[in-house]
Structures are given as C-alpha cells and as structure tokens.
Amino acid sequence: MKPASLRKYRPFHEKFDIRLPDRQWPDRHIERAPIWCSVDLRDGNQALAIPMNVEEKLEYFQLLCDIGFKQIEIGFPSASDTEFRFFRRLVDEKLIPADVTVQCLVQAREHLIQRTFEALEGVPRSIVHLYNSTSPLQRKVTFGNASKEKIKAIAVDGAKLVRKLADQVTDGEILFQYSPESFSDTELDYAYDICKSVTEIWGPTKESPIILNLPATVEWATPNIHADMIEWCCRQLKKDGLRDKVQVSLHTHNDRGTGTAATELAILAGADRVEGTLFGNGERTGNLDLVNVALNLNSHGIATGLDFSNLDEIRMTYQRLTRMAVHERHPYAGELVFTAFSGSHQDAIKKGMDLIDSDSVEWAVPYLTIDPQDIGRNYEAIIRINSQSGKGGVAYVLDREHGLDLPKSMHPEVGGIVSRQADELGRELTIEEIRESFFNEFVNRNAPLSLLDHDECHVENANAEGILVHQRAKRGNEYGWTFSLSHAGEKSVVEGYGNGPINALAHALEKRGLKDFKVTDYRSHAITDGSAADAAAYVQIVREGDNRSVWGCGLDPSIELAGLKALVSAYNRLHH
C-alpha cells in the first residue's frame, strides 16, 4: 500500500499489552493430536456463495464421518428453517453414528436458545455452543457502545438458560461450549472474566468438562502473540482450579495467512481442541485448514484419528458439494504440490526415490515431506517436464512411467533434447510427449544403417573320430556372427567376431569400412517381468577423431537383439 495509508494502522501489541516473559510454549513439542471438531457444515457453509442444500449437507456429513471426525458442528438450527430441517433429518433418520457428537451454534439470545433445544430433542449426545461478541470494537460498533457489564450479562444470562434447559433434557446428553467471539481482539482479563463466570454457572467436573473456545475470529496478531494469549488463559484456569475441568479450544481464522502456524503454536501453549474446516473454507480468507494441520502431524509420525489416505477423492467431493476450488499449490491436496519442474529438484527427488525403493524404511526424499502414496496420490505427477527441467527429471519420468532405467551418464544427453523441445513449444510436456521425444531420437533408429538379420556363424570340423560335426565359428576367444546389413540402401552380408554380438557387429562394420568409433559403455535390463518381457539396452559410442560421444537405445523381446539395435541407433545418431 502507499506510505500515506500506513497512518491508518498500528501494531497489534500497542492495543493490548500482553506480557508473558516466562512463556513455556516455545520449548515444547507437539506430541499428540488435539480433539478435532469440523465446522464445515456451519462456519464453512455460511461462507459459500451458494450454500449447500439439505441433500448436499447430508453427503458432506457422511464424508466427515468417513474421515473420522468425532465432533461435527452441524449447523445453526435457530437461524433458518433449512438449518433446522437438516438438523432434524439427521436425528429422525438416525444418521448420526453412535461415536459422533454433533454440535450446534447459538447466540446468547433467549428465543434462539429455546429453538435450539427444540432441534436437540432425541439427539443422543450433543454440544450446545453458546457465543456472544466481546471485543471493544464489537462493543462499540455492533452494540452501540455497550458497557463491559452489559456484554458480560448477555453471556451469563445465556449460560443460565442453557443450563436450565439442559437439566430438563431426559433423552440425551448435553455438553456445553462457550465462545467469547472476537477473543483475538478482546482484553485478555475481560475475556477470561466472562469465561470464568460462564464456567461457574455450568459447573463442570473432571468427568464432565466444558469447552471454552477462544476464537481468533479475526487474525489480528502474529502467531506468537496468539500462543501467548492461549497460554495466559490456560495458566489462569489452572490458578483458579479449573484447568482439568475445561477443554481449551481453538478456532483460528486466516486473515494474515498464518492460521496453521497460529494453531500449532497455540497447541504448544496448551490448547486441547481445534475447530476448523476441510481445505480452510470460511469467511474472508477462511478458517483453519484441518487437512493441513492433521497431515502436518502425520508427517511427524503423530496419529490423528483422521483418515486422509484418499485425499484426491475427498478434494473432489468437497469441490463438487461446495462449488469451491482447491488451489493447485494448496498444501498436500493441490494438483502441483508434489510436482517439481526445476532440474536440480528433479535430480534430488529421483535420487531420493531410488534409495527409498531399494533399501529405506524411513521416508527421506528431498523436497517431499511425505510419501504422496500415503494420501492416495501417485508418483505420476511428482516430476513434470518443461524448459526448466533437468536431466534427472526426464530420466525419472522415463523410468517411472515407461520402465526405462537410463544409465546415469546418458541423462544429460536425453535431458537436453527433451528440455529443448519443451522450450521450443513454450510449455510443459506430457508424459507421452516425453516418451515420443525419447523414442524418436534414441530408440531403434534404422537409417542410414539398418540391421536386417543376424545369426551365429557355424562351421563343420572333424572330431577325434574323424566325424564332421557342426560347431560355432570361433577365432581365439571370439565367436563369429553373420550380419545382414543395409547402409544408405546398399545391402551386404558381413561376418564379425567378438566376445559378444555387439563387439562382433562393430567388427563387421569395420570390415565394411563403416567403423569410425569405439564402444565405451553398454547396459541392459528387462522392462517387465516374465519370459515374454521386452528388454532395453543402451550403448554409448565415441567417434575417433573428434571424441564426440552419443548414446543409442534398443528395445526388443530379445536382450541380445536389443543390444544390437542400441548400437545401430547410436551409430545412426552419430552419423545423422
């Protein structure tokens, strides 16, 4: 923004003096997952341009249950008939699993609380989530300069009515939750005073604790200040003998883009519970992304009770029901988050993946914090090729997608050719385009030289008894082969000798006057398992005189013929 605009803003710490010089959270580590509560069906739904209808919300509720959420805020039943009908549909059709507690939000207003308890009839176990705004800004703007005493009285009166109506319920268990909405910009001592007053009315015990939800309704401050606020409240609860009777809950928004960090630091500060939504859907810049935090914990080996092993399917269901998009760079779920275009990244990833495949148990691949397969992603998109890609990336794709394990010294030559094609096209290459580029340049090339046929040479020699027998032609330690060749349209049959067919073909080419090279490397492998598997062979030759080196590749069901084709391909590339 322009410098003149800065006069409208001042640091958050100047508004509220939060002092916690002996804070403990920086020295702690997250060792277990919090209690999770999804608010997709309430907070997330109200943020949609087109809110979900009842049928869509039913499907979304089932999705949340399948993921493993045990607490789900299913709506605001006093807000509208649609919300009320959805709530009752879940109850009347017995769609709430026995191990799932549903939560309903309600403002601290008498008629809304009454309507909420009507919706709760017959619910086996539920959380009534009471809230009212408490911040100075809300007191001034929303409530017309209402006093602190008046705002506190709203919370206290609401808590008393909830307690009274809960005592009258005989067909279900009612749990209590209170949120001082806009806690993030409320004076700490005042917010705590209200929370303590509500807590005393509800009378929690160790066996039946209440939930104090301390929402960062608007993310005003940096994550460390948020953590200080949570630790301060946890200390006050302990001082007042209430800490083991209260679950401290978080509800972070993402106005500064640091909702995940604020949540993780606040867990270190003592929070027991976390509210949020899938992929962070919510008002403004969104709520806390539960997928992000849960998979962050998984990446440190911490069990969460949530199952995101089919994250692609979850993402597609979410997008269909909410009509929202998940960004390509969204952590874990985005289309491109496991994708590398950079050549140096691709090379490091390929090396890491090779080691993981061979002998590693612990996940340790450069640039990849988790194994994509653990969340239902495949390896297809890890490396994608454009003009920025390098030798390792192209080799990785050819290996993973087409079973071609190129010799390392062949990588620069192949990578350079494929990258130049991407540069010429000005875009990313598809997997099939990479394959086509490699095949066109390196595989089974047959001009100007082509191998029409080959066979072992045999001769008839007399054995010890003087009987003629058919034997392999041999010269010293070298065996003979016959090659039917065509060079620039001229056909010939030439014999060659060598310790193998490749050397023998090189000898035959020398006899034809075509050998101006030496073979410097040869590799081969089976592409697939089984007797009918294709084989791949790679031959490197260096031209005598200018020392130019080239590789060729041969593919054939016969590994012997694959090697010969590789030599021919290399020759043709050298003389192209």
Binding residues for Mg(2+): 43, 251, 253, 287
- Sheet strands (E) in 367-446: none
> H helices of 245-303, where?
259-268, 290-298
Preceding omega of 97 cis (within 30 degrees of 0): no
The tokens of 105 are what? 């939000």
> H helices of 276-390, where?
290-298, 311-322, 343-359
β-strand partners of 213 = 249
Number of other CB atoms surrounding residue 98 within 10 Å: 7
Q: Is 211 helix (H, G, I), strand (E, B) or coil?
A: strand
For residue 307, give every residue at least 6 positions away whose Cβ sits within 8 Å of its Cβ, in sequence order, or none.
66, 67, 68
Sign of the Cα torsion 57, 59, 61, 64 reads: negative
Strand 474-475 vs strand 478-487: parallel, antiparallel, or unpaired?
Answer: antiparallel
Q: At 128, give phi and psi (nearest 5°).
A: -95, 120
Single out the residue of 237, 251, 256 nearest to residue 36, CA to CA: 251
State the binding site. Answer: 43, 251, 253, 287
Q: CA 424, CA 446: separation in Å to the nearest integer?
A: 26
The tokens of 33 are what? 């997952």
Single out the residue of 320, 295, 297 nearest to residue 375, CA to CA: 295
